Structures are given as C-alpha cells and as structure tokens.
Amino acid sequence: MEKNEIKKLAEEYIKLEKVMDFRDEVSKLLSEENYSELGDRFYRELDFGTGGIRGVIGGGYNRLNPFIIRKTTQGLANYINKAVRRNDSGGSGSKASVAIAYDSRRFSPLFALEAALVLCANNIRVNIFTSLRPTPELSFAVRELGCTAGIVITASHNPAEYNGYKVSWSDGGQVVEPHDRLIIEEVRNSAGEDIREMTEKEAIDKKLLKYIDREIDEPYLEMVKGCFLRPDLVREKGKTLKIVYTPLHGAGRIPVEKAMKDAGIDVITVPEQAEPDGNFPTVKFPNPEEASAMAMALKLAGEVDADLVMGTDPDSDRIGIAVPDGGGFTLINGNQLGSMLSYYILSTLKAQGRMPDKPAIIKTIVTTELQRLIGESFGVRVYDVLTGFKWIADLIARFEKTGENYVFGGEESYGFLVGTRVRDKDAVSAAVVTAEMALFSRENGMSVLDFLNSIYEKYGYFRESQVSGTFKGQSGLEIMKNLMSGMRSSPPEQIGGIRIKEARDYKKRITINNITLPEADVLQFSLEDGSMITVRPSGTEPKIKFYISCREKPGKELEQAKADAGEKAAAMEKDIKKIIDSAK
C-alpha cells in the first residue's frame, strides 16, 4: 500500500473517530511518519471470523476501537431491521431487540455502550448488563428475553492487547449463514457518515435502553444448578470436595462461586486472580489451556491439598482443570475432559433410566474420536461439525425440527455445553458437572485420573496435541494462504514416518451422518495406522493450526500404549514444524 493511500485512510479515520485516545494514537503515528505501523493498521478492515470480530485494541481500521464498534453495529442494525421487516428474525414480538454483555477486557464497557447507543438510534431496544457477565449468560439472556440478536464484547482467551465483538442470533447461538455473511455485507456497505447516534439519556428516556442484572442472573444460575445429575450426592458430600478455582481476572468468579456454594460445594478462589482486570497482570495468556495460566492455582492447590483445580477464561466460556496424580497435579486437556464428561453424563443417564429418545452428542471435526466411540457404545448418535461452537448451536437448533435430543457437546479447545438453554460453550455449567464427576469418582474409590484411565482401557488410548504456526501482518496472511494452497495441491506422502491413506478437503462440500457441512478452509489427513492430522487457519488469530490425534487400540498395556502414542506424536510434530518453517 502506497504512503499517500495510507495517509488518506488515517486522516479519514481521525475525522470519524469520536474518542480522543484512539484518534490521538493515529495522529501521533502520522506526525512521526511511521508508515510501517500505519500500514498494518489500515491495510484492511477487521472482518468476521469464527467468533465474530476480534483484533488488537487501537486506532485504525485493522484495530478494534469505538469507530469500528459503531460502524459494525450500524451494519448489524441495518440487517436486524431488515430481518424484522421480513419477519425472519426469530425473536419474539414485532420490534427488534438486542441483549449486550461484556467481560473484563480493556474498554469493554465503553465498546458495549457505543454498540448499544447505535442500536437505540436505529430504533432497536437494547438490554445491557450493568457490569461484566460470562458469554454463556449473554446467550441465555437472548433466549430468555426473546431478543432478535445478542452482542458480547470479548476476545475470549486472547492476550491483553485484544478485544472483540461477537454476535449471536435469536436462538442464542453465534451467527451462521446466511446471517454472518449478510451482516458483514451491511457493515461494508455502511460508511462512517451513515452511523446513527443517540445519547445515553435520550435512549433511556425513550425506553430504548434498559440495564439488566438480577432478572437474568437468577434464572441463569438456577439453570446451571439444574445441570447436576446427582444433586443428592452433591448435597450430602459436596462439603468434602476441596476445589481451587481461578477466574483468571475474568467474568467467571461470581457465577462459579455462587453456583458451587448454593449446591453445597466450597470453592477456594486464587486471591491474586480473583478480581476482574483486563491487563491480566499475573498471566501472559489468560487461557486455561496454558499451563502457565494455571500455575498460581496449582501452587495453591498443593498448599491446601485440593481434590480438583479449575480455571475459566476471561469470558468464562472455556474451562480447564487439573487433578492430583499422586505427587502433584496433572493438567487435563480439552479432549480428555470432554471424553470424561461424555462418559459420565451418558453412563449416569443410562443408570438412572433417563436417556432421552434419539439422543445425540455433537463434536467438532478436530475433537477426539474417543468421544464417538463413547457415544456409540451407549447407542447415542455422534455428529461432527466444523470448528467453532456456532456450528454446534446451529445443529442443536436443527434438532428441534428433527426430534433428536442433544445430550452433550464440545470442542477440544476446552469448550463444552450441558443442556440447551444456552447455545454457546458454558464453563459455568461445565464446572458444576465436572465437580460432580470428581465427587462421584472419589465416592466410588477412584481418582479422576483413574476414571480417565478406565475409559482408555475400555476404548483405547488417544493422544492429541497441537502445533501452530504464527504469521503476523499483511505478509503473514499471504504466507498462510500459500501454505494451505500448497498442502491442498501437493499433500505430503507421509507425516512422522506414517503414510497418508486419505486426504479430505473441506473446501468441497462434505456430508457426514447426513449433515452436509459448509465449505471451510480445512484439510484432514487420515494415516495408515488410524492417526489423523487436521490443518486449518484460525478464524480469530494469525495462525495455522495442526491438530494431531494418535490412537492405540484396546488390549495393549496402558503405559506402553501411552509411550507408543507419544513417540508417534513427537515424530509427527517434528515434520509439521518443518512444514511451518519452510513456509516462513
């Protein structure tokens, strides 16, 4: 991009941005003639990915700021009003309405209010939370209030410099086709001068803006507590379970603590990470997938001899856990926790005679096949969808027409959903079921690790890992495209010394279990030994992710199976790193 073009875009942005801090940022870069930084801020405009819009906070079209929030919201408002006029919004009543929530990230309250006021100026009623709330509670609010759509300001587990804007539709699930595509078309077609505005006072006086809290908090927490499968066990023995919990400076503390306490379980919250703080001062990445993010919780757990360690990310839609291993604590990955929850829920429903008709589990194409084996062993149909929890929510909505009954679903990236009153991953409800599972295991003479190993002994050992390549900036985007294109046209013959048996390209329409998946930039390689490699660009970060899954069939001694699978995975990781390095 030429300097004159960059300068023109920067000057345009300065005129359009209302908030001085962001405006001054760009003005300073212009005065310094820092065209390298300005080029990165203006070479493109933030676009919708698997989780909506997400980007680094700052001035510019390729940054998240009040102007981008307002412009995006104007496009959303245009689409909502058209959908209501067509009567295909799915919300209750004839007037459009939106629920808005936000987490602890920097500028989240400002971004939420900016979005609310643009909606109000477009004659759309807004219900906005008075303070930070978990993402799943926003999904719950959309359904509870019969809203046309929902917005949550969050960047989930990204580092502190990020924030984001995630849109859900009237079913409480993140927007999918055609809504996502049509919303972004409206956003692109709206110019800065088209943005409608209204003051907070005017919006309240016209009854277009309403602040909400307890009227959603209380039914949401009742729903969460209703997820317990053995409430009598929890009530009688819950006090004996010692849990250390960290909200990682996010929105999870109040709902997780309250849901547990009301059920009779005491939670010890890591004091240094208890308060909301968008700078995340104690962690580099506020992500329970990262061992470093769980370090303080693990330290405290060792000091108090905890039975279970839990961590939720800033918007409390993901949960990570660690369990005692005899000499310390072992971190449990998302595939393992999802498999344990699947087995625990299904075995409990079967034992209680409460398995619904036409039961179904939903997982993503990169989530362990162990969950398929578990589901099918209980006579439960297991569905695959594309990566992104919105596809799980979309299939749950379709089940309402087919008569199938969703029992459980989740992603390998620590996102799970119990029940259907929320249509996004929900760490709060997952936390209560995980606590119950740990309690049930102990009452039956097993540790959580024993419980996991019993699953491996029954179905075979699965070892999953992930390798990512990061490609930042405009040049990085091009490298990522070339890498995917190269692997698509000339796939490797082997990975980790094991020949590739079959390559599946999700850019072509794939039908699995009578469900035709949308086209996606994903490649999947099945290896001769039953292992699988899946490759996809992230929808929210400048990364290409390689998902590795190795399986050892039942019958082999468990420790040997773990060692053999580990060797395979190490060889595959080595080859994948070579592929990434050769692309840079």
Can you give 270-325 as a three-state secondary structure string? Answer: CHHHCCCCCCCCCCCCCCCCCHHHHHHHHHHHHHHCCCEEEEECCCCCCEEEEEEC
How confident is the model at residue 180, as a pLDDT? 87
Amino acid at the residue 174: Q
Instruction: Report the pLDDT value the prediction gives residue 516, as an integer from 0 to 100.
Output: 82
pLDDT at position 512, please?
73
Place of tokens 């980790």: 496
**pLDDT tens track for 362-376:** 999 999 999 999 999
pLDDT for res 88 = 65
Q: What's at 528, amino acid-wise? A: E
Q: Which CATH superfamily is domain 44-212 in?
A: Alpha-D-Glucose-1,6-Bisphosphate, subunit A, domain 3 (3.40.120.10)
* CATH 3.40.120.10 is right for the domain spanning 225-459: yes
Task: Tell me the per-residue pLDDT of 273-326, one tens digit each, with 9 for 90 and over.
Answer: 999 999 999 999 999 999 999 999 999 999 999 999 999 999 999 999 999 998
Write down the pLDDT at residue 539. 67
What is the reported pLDDT for 92?
A: 58
Task: List Cβ neighbours of 125 (8 Å cut-off, separation of 6 or more).
Answer: 95, 96, 97, 98, 207, 208, 209, 210
User: Is the pLDDT confidence value at 523 over 60?
Assistant: yes
Determine the residue type at 479: I
The answer to whether the beta carbons of residues 215 and 199 sit under 8 Å apart is no
Strand order in the sheet with 97-102: 53-56, 162-169, 149-153, 97-102, 125-129, 209-212
Distance CA(49)–CA(55), nearest Å, equals: 11
pLDDT of res. 445: 96
Round to whole Å and give the CA distance between 452 and 448.
Answer: 6
- Whether residue 514 is predicted with pLDDT greater than 80 in this model: the reply is no
pLDDT at 191: 80
Please say if the pLDDT value at position 497 is more than 60. Answer: yes
Identify the pLDDT of residue 401.
94
pTM, two decimals, is 0.93
Task: Identify the active-site residue in 156, 190, 316, 531.
Answer: 156
Long-range contacts formed by 531-538: CB under 8 A, 24+ apart: 531/496, 531/498, 531/568, 531/572, 532/369, 533/495, 533/572, 533/576, 534/365, 534/366, 535/484, 535/487, 536/366, 536/387, 537/480, 537/484, 538/49, 538/50, 538/468
Mean pLDDT of 221-245: 96
pLDDT reported for residue 540: 63
- The string of pLDDT tens digits covering residues 74-110 is 999 999 999 998 876 666 555 899 999 999 999 999 9
Whether 156 is catalytic:
yes
What is residue 147's three-state secondary structure?
coil
pLDDT of 345 > 80? The answer is yes
d(CA 75, CA 175): 14
The domain segmentation of the chain, as residue ranges, is: 44-212, 225-459, 460-583
Phi, psi angles (nearest 5°) of residue 570: -60, -40
Among the ranges given (246-250, 288-292, 358-362), the one the predictor scored with the smallest mean pLDDT: 288-292
| Alpha carbons 248 and 312: distance in angstroms, whole number | 7
Query: How do beta strands 461-470 and 543-552 pair?
Result: antiparallel
Residues 6 or more apart whose CB falls under 8 angstroms from that of 28 comprise: none
For residue 344, the 8-state DSSP code is H
**Domains 44-212 and 460-583 belong to one CATH topology:** no
**What is the phi/psi pair of residue 217, to 5°?**
-55, -45
pLDDT recorded at residue 150: 98
Stretch 222-243: mean pLDDT, rounded? 96
- Return the closest-CA partner of residue 311 out of 277, 328, 334: 334
- Per residue in 105-155, pLDDT (tens digit) is 999 999 999 999 999 999 999 999 999 999 999 999 999 999 999 999 999
How many angstroms separate the CA atoms of 337 and 363, rounded? 13
Helices (H) and strands (E) in the chain, counts: 19, 23
So what's the architecture of 460-583 in CATH?
Answer: 2-Layer Sandwich (3.30)
Q: Name residues whose C-beta falls within 8 Å of residue 87's C-beta, 6 or more positions apart in sequence.
A: none
State residue 471's pLDDT score. Answer: 87
Query: What phi and psi values does residue 395 have, to the nearest 5 degrees?
Result: -70, -35
Q: Are 359 and 382 in contact (CB under 8 A)?
A: no
Q: Which residues of 531-556 are buried (b: 16+ CB within 10 A; e: fewer)?
A: bbbbbbbbbbbebbbbbbbbbbeeeb
pLDDT at 383 over 70: yes
pLDDT in tens, 570-579: 999 999 999 9
